[in-house]
Amino acid sequence: MRRTALTTTASAERPYISKSKFLWGSQCKKLLWYAYNAKDQIPEPEAAQQAIFDQGHEVGALAKSLYPAASRSART
């Protein structure tokens, strides 16, 4: 299940912010504002940067397939 940023949780009525968005905000407050208020104005990553992101996702998927118990315990 994927959570969208700044949604409220069922157990508590507090907004949820992802770790990535938190880091964005700590590095650049304006980027965090744009992420929630003007997402369409954030440019897409260039092809080289997108390739790096894709490799990171592949590594994550491989790690999950090699160590399925570790990925299950991280979610709880």
Q: Measuring CA to CA, how many Å separate 20 from each of 24, 28, 66, 69? A: 6, 12, 24, 24
The residue assigned the tokens 């907004």 is 15
User: Tens digits of per-residue pLDDT, 55-76?
Assistant: 999 999 999 999 988 766 555 5
The structure's pTM equals 0.52
Other Cβ atoms within 10 Å of 43 Cβ, number: 5
Please give the residue range of the domain that contains residue 62. 44-76
User: Is the same domain home to 71 and 61?
Assistant: yes
User: Is the same domain home to 7 and 31?
Assistant: yes
Q: CB-based contacts of 70: which residues, under 8 Å, 6+ apart?
A: 63
User: Is the same domain home to 1 and 34?
Assistant: yes
User: Is the same domain home to 39 and 50?
Assistant: no
User: Tens digits of per-residue pLDDT, 23-58?
Assistant: 989 999 999 999 888 989 989 999 999 999 999 999
User: Is the same domain home to 35 and 11?
Assistant: yes
Handedness of CA 21, 26, 31, 32 (dihedral sign): positive
